Amino acid sequence: MPKAKITNEEALAFHLDPTPGKWEVQATVPMTTQRDLSLAYSPGVAVPCEAIAENPETAYDYTNKGNLVAVISNGTAVLGLGNLGALGSKPVMEGKSVLFKRFADVNSIDIELDTEDPDEFCNAVRLMGPTFGGINLEDIKAPECFIIEQRLKEEMDIPVFHDDQHGTAVICAAGLLNALKISGKKIEDVKIVLNGAGAAGIACIELLKAMGARHENCIVCDTKGVIYQGRTEGMNQWKSAHAITTELRSLEDAMKGADVFLGVSVKGAVTQDMVASMADNPVIFAMANPDPEITPEEAHEVRVDAIVATGRSDYPNQVNNVLGFPYLFRGALDIHARAINDEMKIACAHALANLAREDVPDEVAMAYGKSLTFGRDYIIPTPFDPRLIHRIPPAVARAGMDTGAARRPIIDMDAYELSLKSRMDPTASILRGLNARARSAQRRMIFAEGDDPRVLRAAVTYQRSGFGKAMVVGRADEVKQKLEAAGLADAVRELEVINAANTQHLDVYKSFLYKRLQRKGFDQKDIHRLAARDRHVFSALMLAHGHGDGLVTGATRKSAHVMDRIGHVFDADAAHGAAGVTALLHKGKIVLIGDTLVHEWPDENDLANIAERAAAVARHMGLEPRVAFVSFSTFGYPVSERAEKMHLAPDVLAARGVDFEFEGEMTVDVALNAHQQAGYPFSRLTGPANILIVPARHSASISTKLMQEMGGATVIGPILSGIDKPIQICSTGATANDILNMAVLASCDIG
C-alpha cells in the first residue's frame, strides 16, 4: 500500500485555512440577552467568585478548571527538530491541544514560554496553576525537563506530566507486558537494554523498574556506550541512578543475550548482527522517530521470532503517545487529582495491555482494513479503538483514588463509564474508518471536471493521501495551467489526464451509448456530442467499461443536470431504486437524511425503498441503522393527508421483514431526542434515530442546507445509492475537501 505524501504547501495550507491555527474558543452558555450577560459577568459572576474564595474546591463546579489542561513548552526540543524556540513550537502545542479534545474531550490551551531558564519557567507555570486542572509539559530538552517537572510536581497541587517522558514510558510498558506474555517471560527475569538516556529513555526504564524489572538486569546506553558504575564522561544525576556494575562497554556488547531492546535514540543504531545476538523470542521496541533504530523488516530477516514495535503508524505495534496522555488526564481530571503518580501510570499501562488481548470490535477492523488479533503483530491497541475512552480513564481514576491522589473520588464507576462513552465523537472514527478502507481499496478514481481548481486539488490530495490513482477528465494543457496557478505545479506529472481526444475507447463508448439511447430520440450525431464533449457522460462511460473504479462529479453543474447525464449511461433513477442519502455531522453526532437527490415526491413504497438504501449506507459507515419517518405529526396526530404516507411507510417495511429498527411517523424532536421519545414507550426505536426519511426532496434539501448554514453541520453527500457502480455527486458549492470526501465514499463503494 503506498504511503501518503504530504507536501510543504499542503501542510502550510492546512494550518492557514479556514482560519490560522488549529483551535478556537466557543462559549458553552447562552450569550444573547442582557440577562445572559448579567449572569455571565456582572453582577451574577460575583456569586461563584465568593463561593470559590470561601471554598476553593468549588472552582471545579463553577469554572472550567476541572476539564482544562495547559500544554506548555519552551521549544527547546521540538519533535526531532531541536531547539526552535517558544514561538517555533506553537504549531506542535496547538496540535497537542486538539489531540486532547479529539481523543478524551479534554479542553486544552497551548502556552509557549520564552525562556530557557528553569527557574523562570517554573515560576511562570506555578503562577498559572489556579487556572488549570492539569499541566502537560512538552518538548523541553533534557536534563532541564527533569528539573522542571520535579520542581513543579513538588510546588503544585494539580497533575504535572511531561509527556515526552511518561507518555512514551506508559505505552512502551503496555506493549512490553504483552510482548513478554507472548514470549513466556517475566519482567523480573528479563535482561533489558535501553539505548537513549534522554527524557523518554530514563522515564521508560524507571517505570519498568517500578513494575518489577530488576536494576541489575537493566543496561542503559547513550552515545558514549554503556552507563556503568564509575563512568564520568557525559554523566548526570539521572543517568547515574541507572549505572550498574558491569564490564560491558558498548551497545553491541550489551545486546548479546538481551531479552528486550528499547530504543529512543537514532535511525540505524541497531544492526542485524546485534539482533541476531539477542536471546530467544527477543522483544525490540525501536521507537526513534521518524525512522527506527532498525526496521521490522531488517529485524525479521535475522530473527523471525522477534516481536517488533516502532513509533510509526505504517508498521504494526505503534508506540503512540496518544494512547496515553489524553486518557491519563481524563481519569486524573475526573477525580480532581493532585498528581499523576506511578500507580496511575502503571494502571494505564495494564489497562492498555489488557485491552489489546480482547477481541477487536468490527468497526476497528473495518477502519484498519484488516483483522486485528492479539499476537506478535498486535500487542498495543490502535489509537482509534472506541473502547479506549471508557476503559483507560476508569483504571487511572481507581488507581488515583486508591493512592490518595483524588480530591473527589468517583462513587458510581458504572455511571462514570457510561458518561465516558457519551463523550465519544462517532463522526471522527467513521471518517477515519472510511479513509482507511479507501487506502486499502486502492481504487482508480475518475474526477470528471478537470477544468475546476477545486476538483484538481481534491484529485491531487486523493493520490497523495495514498487512496489510489486519480484520473482527471480534461485537457492536459488546461489541467497543467490550473495546477500551476493553484501552486501545485509539481503534481502535473502525478495525475493521469484523459479526454475524448486521446482515448482509444471512444468508438466502443459511442456504440454502447447508441444501443442505450437509440430508441429514446438520440441519433448518431447526438451520441457523438454526448460521448466526446460532455465530461459527465464521458466519465460515466469510462466507469461503465471498467476504465476506472469510481466516479466523482457535480462540482460545476447542478445535480439534476448531472443525474440526467449519468442516466444516459446507468439506470440512475427512482424507477430502478436509486436514492440519495446525505450525512450530517454535527457536535459529535451523525444523522443520515434521505432522499436528497432522486425522488421528487415518493409514495410509501418509495419511502420504504429509500429507508433500505439509507440503512445500507449507514452500515457501510459502521452505524447500526435506526430509521425514523419524520413529518410534522407524531403517530397520527395531527391528522393530515400529507402525513399519511409517512404513517404507512413503516407498515411496508414491517411487511418486508427488514433487519433494522424503524418507526414513524414522528416529528424530528421525537426522532432525535431521547427525553421526547420516552413519552412514546411503544416505539420500536431503542434510542435516537440516526436516519431520517423525509416526505419529499424539497424538505430534504431545506433540512440539510438549513443545518449546514445555520447549525454549522458538516455535510457529506448526497451519497448516491442503488447504482451498479460507485458514483458520487458533489454540490456546486463543494470545497476541495468536500470533493475529496465524496471520492473516499466512492472508493469505499458506499451506495
Q: 746: Cβ–Cβ under 8 A, 6 or more apart, which residues?
A: 443, 445, 550, 551, 552, 726, 727, 728
Q: Checking DSSP bridges between strand 260-263 and strand 192-195, what pairing results, if any?
A: parallel
Cβ proximity of 612 and 722 under 8 Å: no
- C-alpha cell of residue 393: 480513564
Q: What is the DSSP track for 133-184?
A: SEEEE-S--TTHHHHHHHHHHHH-SS-EEEHHHHHHHHHHHHHHHHHHHHHT
Ranges of H-type helices in 284-412: 296-302, 325-334, 342-357, 362-368, 388-402
3-state class (DSSP) for residue 717? strand
Which residues fall within 8 angstroms of residue 276, CB to CB, at 6 or more apart? 302, 303
Q: How far apart are CA 116 and CA 141, in angstroms?
A: 9
Q: How far apart are CA 246 and CA 220, in angstroms?
A: 11
Which of helix, strand or coil describes residue 114?
coil
Beta bridge partners of residue 286, listed in sequence order: 263, 310
| Residue 359 Cα distances to 177, 320, 420, 599, 696, angstroms | 18, 20, 21, 42, 43
Q: Which three cell numbers stand for residue 209?
A: 523498574
DSSP one-letter string for 51-76:
HHHH-GGGHHHHSGGGGEEEEEE-SS
Q: Give the CA angle between residues 693, 719, 573 to the nearest 5°.
A: 80
Contacts of residues 412-417 at CB distance under 8 Å and 24 or more positions apart, as own/partner, are: 416/334, 417/390
Name the pairing type of β-strands 579-586 and 589-594.
Answer: antiparallel
701 within 8 A of 555, measured Cβ to Cβ? no
Distance from C-alpha of 532 to C-alpha of 509, rounded to nearest angstrom: 9
Number of other residues whose CB lies within 10 A of the CB of residue 16: 10
5 is catalytic: no
Catalytic one of 41, 421, 515, 558: 41
Cβ burial, residue 260 (10 Å; 0-12/13-18/19+) = buried
Return the amino acid letter for 142. A
- How many residues are recorded in the chain? 751
587 is known as an active-site residue:
no
Query: How far, in Å, CA of 5 to CA of 127, rounded?
Result: 43
Per-residue HEC secondary structure of 393-431 comes to HHHHHHHHHHCCCECCCCCCHHHHHHHHHHCCCHHHHHH
| Rounded Cα gap, residues 345 and 565, in angstroms | 60
SS3 108: strand
What is the spatial distance between Cα 200 and Cα 83, in angstroms, rounded to a whole number?
A: 17
Q: Under a CB-based contact definition with an 8 Å cutoff, are residues 742 and 447 in contact?
A: no
What span, in angstroms and rounded, lies between the C-alpha atoms of 731 and 723?
19
Q: Is 290 exposed, middle or buried (0-12, 13-18, 19+ CB in 10 A)?
A: exposed
Beta bridge partners of 512: none
The secondary element (H helix, E strand) that includes residue 529 is helix 524-533
Q: Is 186 helix (H, G, I), strand (E, B) or coil?
A: coil
Residue 54, number of CB atoms within 10 A of its CB? 8
Q: Which of 65, 90, 96, 191 is labelled catalytic?
A: 96
- Which residues are CB-neighbours of 655 under 8 A, at least 6 positions away? none
* Residues taking part in catalysis: 41, 96
